[in-house]
Structure 1
Amino acid sequence: MLFVALAAVAAVQAESSTNTTVKYIDYTSLKKFTRARSAKQSSTAGSHEQQQQQQQESSMTGSQEQQEEIETPVPTHVPIPTRPQTEAPTPAPTLAPTPAPAPTLAPTPAPTPAPTPAPTPAPTPDPGPWEAKWIDHDQVKPFAQPEPVTISEKAAVKFKPQLHVTNGCHPYPAVNEAGETGAGLKTKGAPSAKCKGSGWGSQVYGRSTWVQGVWAIMYSWYFPKDSPSSGLGHRHDWEHVIVWIDNPGVENPKILAVTPSAHDGYSKEVPPKADCVDGTSVKVNYESQWPVNHALGSTSKGGDFQDLIMWDQLSENARRAMNGVGWGKANTPFNDGNFKPKLEKAFASFQINYGLLFHQGAVFWVGMIAIAAVGFMHGEPKRLLYGSDYNGTTCGTGKHQDQPLTFYPRITQDLLEQASNPSLSPEDFSFYGVCVATCPDAGTYICNYEAEAEIQSDTSLKTDEERQEERKSRATNLMILPSEKQCWLVALPSEQVFYRCLQITELNSTSVEKCVVPGDEPEYYDEVNGVQVPNEKCEIKRVITTSESMEPAQENPLYSTLQTVGATIGRVIGDLQETWPVFLLCGGVLALVLGFAFVILLRFCAGCIVWITLWSFVLLLLLFALMLSTKGGIIGRSDLSALTSEIASAAAAAGVDTSNVNATEIVLPQTLQASQDRQKAYAVAAYVVYALAGVALLLVCFFQKKIRIAVGIVKEASRALQSLPLLVLFPIIPFVMLLILFTYAAIVGAYIYSSGEMQLASLAGELAEQAGQNVTAEATTTLSKVSPDQTMKLLVAYHFFGFLWTAQLINAISMCTIAGAVSRYYWSRNKTSEEMGRFPVFTSFKNCFRYHFGSLAFGSFIIAVVQFIRAALLYLDHQTKDLQQSNLVLKVVMKIVQCCLWCLEKCLRFLSKNVYILIAMKGHSFCTSAMDAFKILLSNIAQVGAVSTVTFLLLGAGKVAVALSCAIATFAYLEKNSDDYGVGGAHELSSPLAPILLALLLGWFVASTLLGVYEMAIDTILLCFCEDKELNKESGQYFMSDSLKKFVATVKKEPPATDIQDEKP
């Protein structure tokens, strides 16, 4: 059921974006911004003629103003790419559009655009509140539908909906050119009484803009009354529908969703049904379900078209009327006060629909919680921690509740017997155990349950001494006693290790120090705690160590190895306990500081480091190839001797004294001499490495421009991290989330795995009850056939898949958050907080849950499925290892499938990372972003390869450098404080190796985390760069830094004078 639900949910993905506010990109708000800047420019101009020309240009007609409209589709709605042929202004302010002045002159041909927009006078003061001018509803003349000019107008006409009126009034014009508005009708008579259509014609009002990466077109109709029947309803009614498309600037925009208004809310069609769309026109129904008022909804019935007039095409008085007139219980949805809130509400509804469809995947987590509850009811994790006795009973449970420890009285015998069986794997060894309350002491005796019960019930044994003698007697006569009534001597002391009592070997050693030089005299000794110890006058001392230990009489190599390993682990843990502040400081704090320093260094010296790294890589390949050549016999000693002779001759000809140089005989070290047994293999390897070195050399030489661009991208990523310092600390959040998830998964998994035998038939009822569902579970024949062991495995598999999915989802949220914040940085002109937002990292993180959660969950689901298949295949490989020993074909097939799945997972991870970047940048669904990512990567494959190679080498070198620095710092600190950490010190260590290695690993982890953020920033900048280059190649108004612009060719084209928006973005 889960996979069916997920497959159904995967068909629809949420459209989303990195921004949380609605952006308005229309000519009125831009015009206001341009006028303000032009006024500032005109204040410095001294020419009266120029100012007069500016005044004339500011009084151009509305059609000319529409030519200045900027609607360039953008990948993210933090910045707005500028139109061609003009200097790039700062992004338009996020404000509701202001009314445009009424046209005063006839349209004139647009002049050829200058490099900088002509200054215009400052806007006129607000004329004050609008006074309503009411006229009869059937006397309002509509606006004629003008010829569309801009991209937004053409898209609005193309997607104009059909309105089908089932009952009630037909749509009427609401306002005329003078600003006079219809007075509406009282709610008397039939629903359509006196409002079956205007003799002047009908009207539909439109307005459009970008909303979180989606183009929204709002179509609004006015009805004189909203009356289900006489006396019900109210005067005036406004209804609207919003058509959501992907991009109005492309050749064939797609309808993503339709949200008709319905009683202060919205109904949703995501995507609209096929029979509800006629070509590019959605079909909308206006109907009242008595006694509820009218509302819009999708329909399969055809309807009528009305003349469309866009907000920017209305006269100034008409716009002022729409902003200022009160319509009673109705309100104008597309005016300045309502347009933004309506879009936000509809967009949230539109997104929630996507979310709800995919949030059915949350049912999976409900199932996980239900399974966890059942595991808590039936499971006992102590079964996994505690050992089992010879009867298979878990110690610490049942009748052994007070005996949680397991002692193995004959472990030596068990190990030797089972080790002699070559077909038995060490992990399958089993030992004869007895449950005890405490670990027994050396010299005591322990018996199995039957023998102990017989001794305790023997009335002839009055005292503990007599019972102890009986145990001793039974231990002495093991060979003649039945196996179920035996006792054993505890020869050595035992210690508790994971609830097991393991015998240990006690080692007592004493050391005596004698002064040798100058001599064994009292003046060369000091008394310390009653012991004579050589003092500073003694130059050489002799140390005599005497050791005494208690060991088993019969040697057991396996048990000795176990004891050695256990002792080593104990010493390592002790060393780490003594040095934890040191390796935390050196491996944690120092690694973080060095990581920051490396990022800053890359900003200023990235070019130098990159080129040194690349040429060093080529040189290392050549040196490695030469070494293989000598081992493979390709280059011999005579060749090297001849080469050095030529060099010596050339040096002598140049006047260099070579009399002291013997260049006739070269003696190679043993490691470089030709290998006799593997010479052919070394020769083949040498040719392969030569080929790789040649390819690397050619790539470095012929891709220098790509490499320089990669250097610029690396520097830009460094600037982004400096502008977003909180981004470096953000990984703490996903780390804590993963830690909580891992803890939860481990605890719940332990309960499930230790739940023992459960029948699936009875389990179904418990799951339904725990999930809070009203379900009656019946023990069907199918369920009854599932064995208890299979039930436990199914639950563990379900839980394990949930863990994988959630872990991948956390990683996806982390990557999308970083990409969103860096995208905000890139797509802002001046890189200021006003453009990026006050908290870009937090905003990006919030958007992952508000807008992108469905897409991220789908992408993580795909990777989790592949990981789960790989895990299942590994389990199958483990279960069939004996069969594979006798079937070579099965073994090879298993390895090939595992390799293919590994490659598939790596490819999916690489692609999904780029998909998450585009989701954060553009706000599209996972599938759409996947196709976009594939196109971008394919069209820029050389650049992507250059950046990936540079990033791999740079960050790999950075991680190694930071980790090694942490290890060296730890070693230096311990050496400097050898009095404390050396022999006899307050924090004596058995070896400094453990803290040094842990500091190395911790430094690698911290560096990988920090530079992982840096790597994600580089990948985001790369995709932003590719998108910026494609979007603005004709205008040259790029968002990239100046260091990158010089590598990008600009192809400028003169746009048509009648419509600058016809140029494709």
Structure 2
Amino acid sequence: MCCCGSADDGCDADTGNPGPDITRRCTDVCCVLVLLVFFAWPVCAILCLKDVDGAYSLTHGHDHYGHFCGRDSLEDKAFAFFPDLENDFKEDPTLLKRYGVCVEKCPKQFEVITDYAGTGGTPLKRPQDLSWYVSLPTFPVAGRCIPYDPPANFSASVEFCADPQCHAAEKPSHPQEVCGLAKDGTNRFWLISKADDILADGWRREGLSDEAIRQRAEIAESAAQEPCKVKVLRDTRVRTEYADASITYSILTKYTGYMFTWSATVYENRSIVLGLGLGGSLVLSLVIITGFAYCVGCVLNVLITCLFLVLICVDYVLFLQAGLVTGRSGRLILDSFGKAIQVEVPDELTSLLEASADTEELRMIYKWCAIGLAIGIFLLACAALAARKNFQILVELLKEASNTMREMPSLLLTPFILACSMMAVSLMMLWVALSISTLQAMDVPEILEAWKGHVAPALVQLGFTDDPLRQLRQIALVFNLFVFLFSYYFHVALCISITAMCVSHWYFYRDDRDRNAGTGINSDGWFFGRPVLLAFQRICRHHIGSLVFGSCIMSVATLLRLAMEYVAAKTKDAQDGNPVVRALVCTCRCCLWCLEKCLQFITEYAYVYVAVTGKPFCSAARSSFVFFAKYPLQTALDKMASTVLGYLLCVTVPGGLAVAAFLCGLKTAWPVCAVVIFGLAYVTTRLAAGIYDVCVTTLFVCAMRDCEHYGGRYMSKSLKNACGFAELARASLSPGAMGIELQDAS
């Protein structure tokens, strides 16, 4: 096995290692200790802080005596209810001194709860009457009962038609003769829905007999089929609120009511929301991605053509504004296009074809911009023609990636499982961060004493003279942030490496009867998820240390950026008064951003190389850099194409599913459910597009490795033809192979 940082691509050819299994050894084993430390951090923090008051207050409230609900004598009363919240808002808008009562469960509307005697804190507000009336319903959040303004608990709605008008008759025989009530002005409209009890009672008060009311109701039931131009809705609702509630309290209950109502709406339609947002987007993304194998060439040609058309149109407008063309041809084309599609051309678009530059200086600016853009279009066209071979390879790689996902649909499981894992880790890290932020000296006396005795003196020598507890909090929060960043990048590394392991194993061993286990639906012993499980096993067994190494590098780079942003925020006043300081800060921010993006790009390819070749991280990163130098144009094209196709997926799939939800009969629930469906579908599609991107990258690495070391024996026929691999293989073995580029192949 090649040593870290010293391996060469020729090392793999010597061992005859085409794919992920042969001569595989453990890499970067020492980094596994770092993983254990980072995994132990949240577990130890939770075990140490779970019983301290600051951490306990995150999930439980306290009563007006200051006693926590669900603890000690109040163990059977785990929820805190605030019976006098409207007056608490008046006395203290921050609610730091809110009056709480511990209850067994959050009370329902119109129930009565009983206060109790105790010691400490705030005494009883009403010693003579311990009962509190619950005027609004509540729902539990973090051990607190939050009140909300509910939807109307009684609602009666009736539909009328305003146009055509109602023609009143004592003995109506047609729906248009069944009018409303004179008292509320609906006698101008005729009824087109079922008459409710309120309307019937109104007719009775106006002198109609029960028989006449019954006849009117029967006629109105057949009015739904009658033509109506303008509808009128009259409804009656009953709701409860405090007569003297403060504005702040009313706003709180209003918006919590919205939250509860929207959540209830989504929950009631959860089958449609989850079915379209998760299942529908997953299936549709897989169908579109696998369909790329048949139309990706056409899609890329259309996108490139649209790009050139847009650039040419912009250049034409610039020439027009410079006074070098009249714009007659452009207006003629625009009018012809509008007539062809039978759509009126917007005035804003037509105004672009009218010269607006009124000074010679402005016309000169337009002129040189037009000339520069024309030269750029010409050079871009030349580059596109020169790179036609690269485009052919790109198309074949995209087709192979689609075939790979069709053979191994379980690849889409990886990001979802890891996303759920990351959500759980994020909640843990958030809990730890909040617990540390609320930490008091009495909560961790032993840790604080050890800090004062061993760490604080060293910090004082470095010039940090803050309170030891404050120092402990800050350093713990920074370390917690670093662990969170590491967890995120580690999940990303797992996703990339597992996908790359599956794809590379499929590429090299799909036709090998002895080693094709987990290569697709046609392999022996296949079951759904087997490729992912085998890849996960190989990664954990051999290369978990390499993933930790890369994750640490990315975490450090991101933490440096965050530190720079913190410095920039703290020095904002100095930047406003000194342009040199502002320029220096902007330069540092730009450099750190570029560093992070470069490391991210190299690290992603390094994970692919780790999965394909089994190299340590440093050696894989070096091979990645050499790979970029050998195939810069193809690398850029692959990344650009994957990004563009990913954005197309992320726009079309969520938008289409949100529209499809409208056709599922959601009616008034559609806006809220559509937003949730769009969000779920976007996340799902984004994850699927990310897997497709990794598939393209891995296939590119495997194909070039196959060309250079194994004579293209593992390539599909179409990919061989696109690469012109015979000449490329000979050139790659020549002394000048390090400078070879794919468009030179024929």
The alignment's TM-score, normalised by the length of structure 2, stands at: 0.70
Shift of 1:600: 2.5
Are residues 1:703 and 2:387 paired? yes
Maintained 8 Å contact 1:762/1:779: no
Gaps of 5+ in 1: 1-11, 18-24, 26-69, 80-209, 213-346, 419-428, 457-462, 469-488, 652-659, 768-775, 975-980, 983-988, 1055-1059
Distance 1:71 1:930 in 2: 18
Distance 1:414 1:671 in 2: 58
Larger radius of gyration: 1
Distance 2:66 2:16 in 1: 68
Amino acid at match of 1:865: V
Maintained 8 Å contact 2:311/2:377: yes
Match of 1:945 among 629, 636, 660: 636
Given the superposition, is the C-alpha separation of residues 511 and 849 from structure 1 closer, same or farther in structure 2, using an over 3 Å criterion?
closer
Q: After superposition, what is the alpha-carbon deviation per residue over 1:946-969, rounded to whole angstroms, capped at 9, x for unaligned?
A: 222222222322332222222222
Q: After superposition, what is the alpha-carbon deviation per residue over 1:566-619, rounded to whole angstroms, capped at 9, x for unaligned?
A: 343233223212221112112222222222222322122222222122212333
Given the superposition, is the C-alpha separation of residues 645 and 864 from structure 1 closer, same or farther in structure 2, using an over 3 Å criterion?
closer
Maintained 8 Å contact 1:627/1:672: no
Maintained 8 Å contact 1:408/1:432: no
Higher helix share: 2
Distance 2:167 2:125 in 1: 70
Moved more, 381-390 or 718-727: 381-390
Q: 1:355 is matched with which residue?
A: 29
Amino acid at match of 1:639: T
Distance 1:647 1:791 in 2: 68
Amino acid at match of 2:615: H
Amino acid at match of 2:517: G
Q: 1:372 is matched with which residue?
A: 46
Gaps of 5+ in 2: 179-193, 201-216, 461-465, 519-529, 739-746
Amino acid at match of 1:937: F
Match of 2:499 among 800, 808, 818: 818
Are residues 1:791 and 2:472 paired? yes
Shift of 1:882: 7.7
Given the superposition, is the C-alpha separation of residues 77 and 951 from structure 1 closer, same or farther in structure 2, using an over 3 Å criterion?
closer
Shift of 1:877: 5.7
Are residues 1:211 and 2:153 paired? no
Maintained 8 Å contact 2:20/2:501: no
Distance 1:405 1:1003 in 2: 37
Amino acid at match of 1:211: T
Q: 2:744 is matched with which residue?
A: none
Distance 2:328 2:700 in 1: 50
Given the superposition, is the C-alpha separation of residues 566 and 646 from structure 1 closer, same or farther in structure 2, using an over 3 Å criterion?
closer
Distance 1:616 1:1063 in 2: 38
Given the superposition, is the C-alpha separation of residues 15 and 887 from structure 1 closer, same or farther in structure 2, using an over 3 Å criterion?
closer
Are residues 1:719 and 2:395 paired? no
Amino acid at match of 1:919: V
Distance 2:275 2:100 in 1: 44
- Structure 2 residue matching 1:1014: 3-state secondary structure: helix
Given the superposition, is the C-alpha separation of residues 760 and 505 from structure 1 closer, same or farther in structure 2, using an over 3 Å criterion?
closer
Distance 2:693 2:61 in 1: 47
Of all paired residues, the percent bearing the same amino acid is 19
Maintained 8 Å contact 2:65/2:122: no
Distance 1:644 1:958 in 2: 34
Q: 1:639 is matched with which residue?
A: 326
Q: After superposition, what is the alpha-carbon deviation per residue over 1:697-741, rounded to whole angstroms, capped at 9, x for unaligned?
A: 444333211111100111122233333343333334433432442
Shift of 1:931: 0.9
- Structure 2 residue matching 1:1000: 3-state secondary structure: helix
Q: After superposition, what is the alpha-carbon deviation per residue over 1:858-907, rounded to whole angstroms, capped at 9, x for unaligned?
A: 00111112223334455566667788777777677656544543433222
Given the superposition, is the C-alpha separation of residues 504 and 431 from structure 1 closer, same or farther in structure 2, using an over 3 Å criterion?
farther
Shift of 1:760: 7.7
Q: After superposition, what is the alpha-carbon deviation per residue over 1:1011-1035, rounded to whole angstroms, capped at 9, x for unaligned?
A: 3222111101111222233335xxx
- Structure 1 residue matching 2:440: 3-state secondary structure: coil
Maintained 8 Å contact 2:278/2:680: yes
Q: 2:279 is matched with which residue?
A: 589
Given the superposition, is the C-alpha separation of residues 891 and 376 from structure 1 closer, same or farther in structure 2, using an over 3 Å criterion?
farther
Maintained 8 Å contact 2:63/2:102: no
Q: 1:257 is matched with which residue?
A: none
Q: 2:689 is matched with which residue?
A: 1011
Shift of 1:935: 0.8
Shift of 1:932: 0.9
Moved more, 856-865 or 393-402: 393-402
Are residues 1:763 and 2:447 paired? yes
Given the superposition, is the C-alpha separation of residues 882 and 390 from structure 1 closer, same or farther in structure 2, using an over 3 Å criterion?
farther
Q: How does 1:33-182 map to 2 (within 5 A)?
A: 72-74=14-16, 76-77=18-19
- Structure 2 residue matching 1:901: 3-state secondary structure: helix
- Structure 1 residue matching 2:726: 3-state secondary structure: coil
Q: 2:678 is matched with which residue?
A: 1000
Shift of 1:915: 0.4
- Structure 2 residue matching 1:639: 3-state secondary structure: coil
Amino acid at match of 2:308: V
Shift of 1:916: 0.8
Q: 1:1050 is matched with which residue?
A: 726
Match of 2:490 among 798, 802, 809: 809
Given the superposition, is the C-alpha separation of residues 400 and 435 from structure 1 closer, same or farther in structure 2, using an over 3 Å criterion?
farther
Given the superposition, is the C-alpha separation of residues 15 and 573 from structure 1 closer, same or farther in structure 2, using an over 3 Å criterion?
farther
Maintained 8 Å contact 2:707/2:728: no
Maintained 8 Å contact 1:14/1:355: no
Q: 1:612 is matched with which residue?
A: 302
Q: 2:524 is matched with which residue?
A: none
The alignment's TM-score, normalised by the length of structure 1, stands at: 0.51
Shift of 1:72: 4.7
Are residues 1:433 and 2:98 paired? yes
- Structure 1 residue matching 2:100: 3-state secondary structure: strand
Shift of 1:945: 1.4
Q: How does 1:547-558 map to 2 (within 5 A)?
A: none
Distance 1:916 1:506 in 2: 53
Are residues 1:404 and 2:80 paired? yes
Higher strand share: 1
Given the superposition, is the C-alpha separation of residues 606 and 375 from structure 1 closer, same or farther in structure 2, using an over 3 Å criterion?
same
Q: 1:570 is matched with which residue?
A: 260
Match of 2:290 among 600, 606, 626: 600
Q: 2:222 is matched with which residue?
A: 536
Q: After superposition, what is the alpha-carbon deviation per residue over 1:171-216, rounded to whole angstroms, capped at 9, x for unaligned?
A: xxxxxxxxxxxxxxxxxxxxxxxxxxxxxxxxxxxxxxx733xxxx
Moved more, 881-890 or 894-903: 881-890
Are residues 1:837 and 2:517 paired? yes
Maintained 8 Å contact 1:822/1:1020: yes
Maintained 8 Å contact 1:368/1:798: no
Match of 2:703 among 1025, 1030, 1047: 1025
Residue-pair matches, total: 649
Maintained 8 Å contact 1:757/1:792: no
Distance 1:808 1:891 in 2: 31
Given the superposition, is the C-alpha separation of residues 667 and 866 from structure 1 closer, same or farther in structure 2, using an over 3 Å criterion?
closer
Distance 1:496 1:647 in 2: 59
Given the superposition, is the C-alpha separation of residues 556 and 744 from structure 1 closer, same or farther in structure 2, using an over 3 Å criterion?
closer
Maintained 8 Å contact 2:136/2:150: yes
Amino acid at match of 1:949: M
Distance 2:440 2:671 in 1: 43
Q: After superposition, what is the alpha-carbon deviation per residue over 1:610-666, rounded to whole angstroms, capped at 9, x for unaligned?
A: 212221233344446667888xx5579x93346557999xx9xxxxxxxx99xxxx9
- Structure 1 residue matching 2:269: 3-state secondary structure: helix
- Structure 1 residue matching 2:481: 3-state secondary structure: helix
- Which fold has the larger relative contact order, with Cα–Cα distance below 8 Å and residues 6 or more apart in sequence? 2
